[in-house]
Structure 1
Amino acid sequence: MGNKPILYFLCTGNSCRSQMAEGLGKEILGDEWEVHSAGIEAHGLNPKAIEMMNEIGIDISNQESSIIDRDVLNHATFVVTLCGDALDNCPAIPPSVKHEHWGLVDPAKAEGTEEEVDQVFRDVRDDIKERIEELKTSSK
């Protein structure tokens, strides 16, 4: 762990929302933060999440789907839970760690035509992007 603040995105399976958040976090926050993501379980990267991030020029295909690392959690500066499952089932977040809950719909559960499903992924991606941009502005 370096000297930079650590931002940790937590979700159920670390396949969609938290992966997009990690990719956006690294892109937007650059060298200012150390950005990680994890899940209660590891479901692997969702190909649609990779595709929707590629649309905005961010490649997350080399990111790994991993389960929560207590060491990272305990050293985190800021933890963001992205779904109710992570909020309810996450190991105890230390009181010294700032925590925010961004309850986002699970794009992997989206139904409809491919275009409709893609739009749910885009909406979630864009929502995460706006929130990280706000975080960058407020942390200066």
Structure 2
Amino acid sequence: MTEPLYNVLFLCTGNSARSILAEAIMNKVGNGMFKAYSAGSFPKGEVHPVALELLRNLNYDTSFARSKSWDEFAGPDAPQMDFVFTVCDNAANEVCPVWPGRPMSAHWGVPDPAEATGTKAEVMVAFTEAYRMLNNRISVFANLPISSLEKLVLQKHLDDIGATEDKETAE
């Protein structure tokens, strides 16, 4: 029996860094079980160049990456989402559109690397740290036995993932 394909939407305010990183990670670690998308409530209109550089350095194809509004995913022709995750505090506190199908949601807040200042190396460290946090959370999520979990148990797992301490993990 094959697992279903789950659609996952990562939301952030600007859709220029964290949600883009999350989309890339999920599409890579999701092992064909997940199709990830990203969007913003107030998209910046362009992806942060350091986010693109980091993804390219990690051998990701970045051709998917564009900053877009969450309105693209709220219409009748949009893919139906199974999961919606906010990855920044601003998006978690905003009124989100009503998503068709009533997907499960959770808040997985990550500090905004696009606000980092300093040298190029210091800014890259902020992006790398955001990537690490998102990769850890998404990897845990992608390995849950989703189809065999009851909805309330699954929601608890999603909330727990977002509340995890983001300490360095041994690889």
TM-score when scaled to structure 1? 0.88
Q: Deviations over 1:47-79 (max 9, x none)?
A: 100001112111224422110021448x21111
- Which piece of structure 1 moves more, 84-93 or 34-43? 84-93
Distance 2:16 2:139 in 1: 22
In the comparison of the two structures, how many residue pairs are matched? 137
Which residue number corresponds to residue 136 of structure 1? 142
CA distance in 1, matches of 2:118, 2:110: 18
How high is the sequence identity, in percent, across the aligned residues? 28
Tell me which residue corresponds to 2:53. 51
Deviates more, 1:75-84 or 1:64-73: 64-73
Greater Rg, structure 1 or structure 2?
Answer: 2
Q: Which runs of 5+ in 2 are unaligned?
A: 147-171
Judged with a 3 Å threshold, the aligned counterparts in structure 2 of structure 1 residues 41 and 139 are, in CA distance, closer, same or farther, namely farther
The code of the aligned residue for 1:14 comes to N
Q: How does 1:1-140 map to 2 (within 5 A)?
A: 4-43=5-44, 44-68=46-70, 69-71=73-75, 72=78, 75-93=80-98, 96-139=102-145
Task: Pick which of 8-17 and 91-100 moved more.
Answer: 91-100
Moved over 2 A (4+): 92-96
The alpha-carbon deviation at position 93 of structure 1 amounts to 4.8
Unaligned stretches of 5+ in structure 1? none
d(CA) in 1 for partners of 2:31 and 2:110? 24
1:54/1:90 CA distance change after superposition, 3 Å: farther
Per the TM alignment, residue 100 of structure 1 is displaced from its structure 2 partner at its CA by 1.1
Partner residue in 1 for 2:158 = none
Q: Which structure exhibits the higher relative contact order, with contacts defined as CA atoms closer than 8 Å and separated by 6 or more residues?
A: 1
Q: Is the 8 A contact 2:42 2:69 kept in 1?
A: yes
8 Å CA contact 1:6–1:78 kept in 2: the answer is yes
Take 1:90 and 1:36, find their aligned partners in 2: how far apart are those partners?
A: 19
State the superposition RMSD in angstroms.
1.9
